[in-house]
Structure 1
Amino acid sequence: MAAVDSLDLRERRRLQTTREISDAALGLFESVGVDGTRIEDIAREAGISPRTFFRYFPTKERAAFCSDPEVEQLVDGMAATLDPGTPLLPQVEAIYAAAMAAYDNGRSPGGRRVLRMWRLVDREPTLRAAGVAYEEERARALAARLREALGTDERDLRPELVVEVVGASARVAFRRWAVLHEAGREADLVTLYEEARDLLRSLPGTPPGA
């Protein structure tokens, strides 16, 4: 992804509209639930037509999941500077940790959006399938970036495997973070991720690196 501040006006407007649609969807899902929300409702809330909605998202459920361009830029930059001579697992763990830190524990705009998203996923079963598809899409994209940085092709299984392993720890951290916030309890996303990562590493039979 190009640097956010270097995007042309058209792409900036597209990013802004994507965020506005996602925010509208999240707000309606929170107030009336996914089943009680129509695409027409999201479109009206976002100030667009239903036809325009489908230029950005294929379904109303998918509209709840909106990546943060600043975080994506951070991930791209770190992935591009991987050291092929160093174990891949700790480098990818560092990428995830930096991305989570960028969410500022739910205080940044992107952090608030991702917290709302995970809180909804925990209580709205119809969002879970869309969430799985969204995470798979992101995992494939990151694995492709890693292969490019490593100078390998799709025969190299390490990127997919490492992304799946690290992604599992991240998903546990995000879910626990959302559940604790929903219960009104303090929780730090990065700390939860580090705990999940360290626990996974401590399980019997877990390899020390990849």
Structure 2
Amino acid sequence: MSEPALRERRRRQTEREIGDVALELFERQGVDATTVDEIARAAGVSSRTFFRYFATKEAAALVPHVDLDERVERMLAELGPGRPLLDQLEDVWREVLTAFDDGRSEAGRLLLRVRRLMLTEPGLRQAAVALDAERVDELVARVARAMQLDDDLPARIAVEAAAVAVRVTLDRWADARDEGRRVDLLATYADACRYLRELGGPG
């Protein structure tokens, strides 16, 4: 692994370590009752270091899993004009959902913990919405470059459409888990993608 790649992995690992501590504290005592100083102290870093990684305490609980993030990065690096954009984005999201392993993997368990916390913590939900918007903007810019587009409108439409299918899939899956029901994550995503494409069909 190159030195820049190693530094980036270490940065992501540090983010994840701080995020794990923040999530544990939020689960135990609530977001409002938890301070940045507490999170930093429990993570073994200074408050200044905390703010080098996160703008807010809520953002610390929303860090992607390190290994999953790297897998997504590799797939995004392969985007190009050779295939329909929506097909490529669906492949990326399918990789993400496969990695969740229906809640059995570390990344899947982390997702469920964060989502359950969001149900009772409106501040965390608001932070997640804001962070999602930032990530969409970053992804749109990246996709437009990869697809060699002069106008980012096609990229934004495809990214937003793919994100809707994923969001609906995760909501249905996680809601079912919370209610003690079993919903197959990948099968639900396949249905969501099919329904999305049928919206543009005849009729």
Structure 1 partner of 2:170: 174
Matched, 1:56 2:53: yes
- Greater shift after overlay, 70-79 or 101-110? 70-79
Matched, 1:134 2:127: no
Q: Note closer, same or farther for the CA distance 1:45–1:186 as it changes in structure 2 (3 Å cut).
A: farther
8 Å CA contact 1:22, 1:66 repeated in 2? yes
Residue 61 of structure 1 aligns to a residue whose secondary structure is: helix
Q: Note closer, same or farther for the CA distance 1:182–1:28 as it changes in structure 2 (3 Å cut).
A: farther
8 Å CA contact 2:140, 2:155 repeated in 1? yes
TM-score using structure 2 length: 0.85
Matches within 5 A, 1:42-53: 42-53=39-50
8 Å CA contact 1:4, 1:70 repeated in 2? no
Q: Partner amino acid for 2:104? A: R
What CA deviation, in whole Å up to 9, does each residue of 1:139-163 have, x standing for no partner? 222222322221123x231111111
What CA deviation, in whole Å up to 9, does each residue of 1:163-210 have, x standing for no partner? 1111011112222222222233333332332233333334xxx225xx
What CA deviation, in whole Å up to 9, does each residue of 1:8-54 have, x standing for no partner? 3x444322221111111111111221122111221122122222211
Matches within 5 A, 1:1-210: 7-8=5-6, 10-82=7-79, 84-153=81-150, 155-202=151-198, 206-208=199-201
Residue 7 of structure 1 aligns to a residue whose secondary structure is: helix
RMSD over aligned Cα atoms: 2.4
Residue 63 of structure 2 aligns to a residue whose secondary structure is: coil
Distance 2:40 2:76 in 1: 35
8 Å CA contact 1:122, 1:175 repeated in 2? no
Query: How far did 1:92 drift?
Result: 1.4
Query: How far did 1:6 drift?
Result: 7.5
Q: Partner amino acid for 1:181? A: R
Query: How far did 1:67 drift?
Result: 1.9
8 Å CA contact 1:18, 1:66 repeated in 2? yes
Query: How far did 1:7 drift?
Result: 2.8
- Greater shift after overlay, 73-82 or 130-139? 73-82
Residue 176 of structure 1 aligns to a residue whose secondary structure is: helix
Q: Note closer, same or farther for the CA distance 1:73–1:17 as it changes in structure 2 (3 Å cut).
A: closer
Q: Partner amino acid for 2:193? A: R
For structure 1, the residue ranges without an aligned partner over 5 or more in a row are none
Q: Choose between structure 1 and 2 for higher RCO, CA contacts under 8 A separated by at least 6 residues.
A: 1
Q: Note closer, same or farther for the CA distance 1:40–1:64 as it changes in structure 2 (3 Å cut).
A: same
8 Å CA contact 1:119, 1:179 repeated in 2? no
Q: How many residues align?
A: 201
Distance 2:23 2:183 in 1: 22
Give the percent of matched residue pairs that are identical in Structure 1 and Structure 2: 45
Distance 1:7 1:35 in 2: 36
TM-score using structure 1 length: 0.83
8 Å CA contact 1:82, 1:91 repeated in 2? yes
